[in-house]
Amino acid sequence: MLAMQVLLAALKARLPGVHLRTLEEARALEALRQAVTAVSGQLVPRVLWRWSSASGLHRLSPDPDQPSQPLQEPCGLDEALAQFRKTADNVVLALLDPWAELSNPFFVRALREALSHARGSGKALVLVGRDWKVPAELQADLFISDLPLPSRAELTEYIQSLAVLYREQLADKVAIDDTALPELARACQGLTLDETRSLVALSLVSFRALGTDAIRLAIREKRQIVRRGGVLEYEEPDRSMGDVGGLEHLKSWVVKRTSLFNEAARKAGIHPPKGLLLVGVPGTGKTLAARAIAAAWNLPLVRLDAGRLYGSLVGESESNLRQAIRTAEAIAPAVILVDEIEKAFGQGGGLDGGTAQRVFGALLTWLSDKKAECFVVATANEVGALPPELLRKGRFDEIFAVDLPGAAARTEILRIHLALAGQALKPADLGDIGRACAGYTGAELEAAVQAALIEAFHDGQRAVSAADLLKAIQATVPLSRTMAEKIDSLRDWCRSGRAVAAGAAMEADGLNRAVSVEV
């Protein structure tokens, strides 16, 4: 276990204090127990104590199956630290969630003196609990380490051990599919061992089986992880690639990488894809494409809401981004959608004390260095507002320019939205309308279909007609009339070699003349 190795190194180095950031107390204490046992076999023997405000001070046995020995219960933090300083043993004292006490300067001072006493003595203090802003007085004496969530290998081993246990206990009362356990471990990435055990038990109680139903339960639990984080939003990837009109080059890119998140690709030395930047005017299907990618790859989709990142307190925005990244990596593999990234990070301005620049810098570092299987889809509406650092090679696998749809794509978009409503037009009529309405975005075509459906429903709930659709299109002023310069700029930018066209370019007659919708 990586955490045990870090703790063992800290004990060998005689560091006076460690802040082990985690919500898995049981797993953290087990890692501490293993580290204390290992260092006792190599150097001076150590003794492990545990303190909490609820249960007081206890001595833990090297044997995890043996009960702890009460030393003083109940017991305040000051009393526990006094005991720590008086004992002649080389004690490693685990303080569980001492944050309420450490909001008091008296206890901060007491802890500081205990850390000074522990320095070089063979004793150590380990603060166990969530992310906590360390007071400046303690920063020099505390080594901060995160207890990572269980790896896929740990989860696989743990789930297999649970399968053996439950098979022995329940005999022929449950069906355990051993072939599904590795996939279950993959689905459980992001869960703690306790959450995994609860999920396995729930599956056995609910379905009398451990297999595909448990995998669905794990995916549902990941939604709860995202909701608890508060910064990311879980979205159902409810659109497939068949629901995306046009964007042929983007679709081909995605299809070729559908199977790159599996074990076979890793064994072949292939790194999983990192992400895409989709640039184009509003309404051209960038966000829809992100949803379709998640559905095509059968991955959860979460949206990074930049508005939730920024807080009023000093350091809060940076902390929110760290929390969002930890949550995203916890549920990996996943698709992370960052919509309109230029609005969130493109305008630093210096009016916020540099907060936006610091948050953006941290995001860029993560985009370049992330190891977790988080595929980031960032969208942007304005090329000129994109920070140059975002376009650097290595941030994304590819940058796609999403143009207005061409005639074939417009026809396909109209057909898709009619089909979603259970309606259809003659192919010839649909083709004529698609060729005639040059300059419309996909969103505008969708809105026109909705308007036509409303007209037909209001007129006796009849089937929609070509005339209904033409009338709806004529009532819409396309975005291309007011954004011609931005569209031309996007095309010039794409032709310069800085981006790849996501699909076939629209006909040139769509921007500089009035849009005709007569058939």
Per-residue pLDDT band at 312 (split at 50, 70, 90): low
Name the one residue in this structure whose structure tokens are 């009960």.
Answer: 67
Query: Can you name the residues that pair with 375 across neighbouring β-strands?
Result: 335
Both tokens of 41, joined, read: 């076999």
H or E element at residue 235: strand 232-235
pLDDT tens, position by position, 348-367: 444 455 667 788 888 888 88
Is the predicted pLDDT of residue 44 greater than 80, yes or no? no
**φ/ψ (deg, to 5) at 464:** -70, 145
Cβ-contact 369, 409 below 8 angstroms: no
Per-residue pLDDT band at 17 (split at 50, 70, 90): very high
Average pLDDT value for residue range 30-52: 88
CATH 1.10.8.60 in the chain, residue ranges: 406-519
**Class (C level, CATH) for 152-229:** mainly alpha
User: What are the residues whose beta carbons fall under 8 Å from the beta carbon of 467, sequence distance 6 or more?
Assistant: none
CATH topology of domain 406-519: Helicase, Ruva Protein; domain 3 (1.10.8)
- CA–CA dist 241, 244 (Å, integer): 5
pLDDT of residue 349: 46
How many Å is the Cα radius of gyration of the chain?
29
Strand pairing report for 334-338 and 301-304: parallel
Instruction: Return the DSSP state at 236.
Output: -
- CA–CA dist 184, 164 (Å, integer): 15
Cβ-contact 430, 413 below 8 angstroms: no
Strand pairing report for 56-60 and 69-72: antiparallel
Both tokens of 17, joined, read: 């204090």
- CA–CA dist 170, 151 (Å, integer): 28
Is the predicted pLDDT of residue 269 greater than 60, yes or no? yes
Range in 25-34, 193-202, 221-230 with the lowest mean pLDDT:
221-230
Instruction: Return the DSSP state at 152.
Output: H
- What is the three-state SS of 243-300? HCCCCHHHHHHHHHCCCCCCHHHHHCCCCCCCEEEEECCCCCCHHHHHHHHHHHHCCC
Q: How many residues does the chain have?
A: 519
Among the CATH numbers 3.40.50.300, 3.40.190.10, 2.60.120.10, 3.90.1150.10, which is that of 2-146? 3.40.50.300
Average pLDDT value for residue range 316-335: 80
Looking at every residue in the chain, the average pLDDT score rounds to: 84
Per-residue pLDDT band at 514 (split at 50, 70, 90): very low
Instruction: Return the DSSP state at 494.
Output: I
Q: What is the pTM of this model?
A: 0.68
Per-residue b or e along 241-280, where b marks 16 or more CB atoms closer than 10 Å to that residue's CB: bebbbbbebbbebbeebeebbeeeeeeeeeebbbbbbbbb
pLDDT tens, position by position, 478-505: 878 877 887 888 788 777 778 888 887 5
Per-residue b or e along 426-446, where b marks 16 or more CB atoms closer than 10 Å to that residue's CB: eeeebbbbbbbbbbbbbbbbb
Neighbours of 25 (CB within 10 A): 18
CATH 3.40.50.300 in the chain, residue ranges: 2-146, 235-401
3-state secondary structure of 17: strand
Average pLDDT value for residue range 210-225: 82
Is the predicted pLDDT of residue 508 greater than 80, yes or no? no
**Class (C level, CATH) for 235-401:** alpha beta
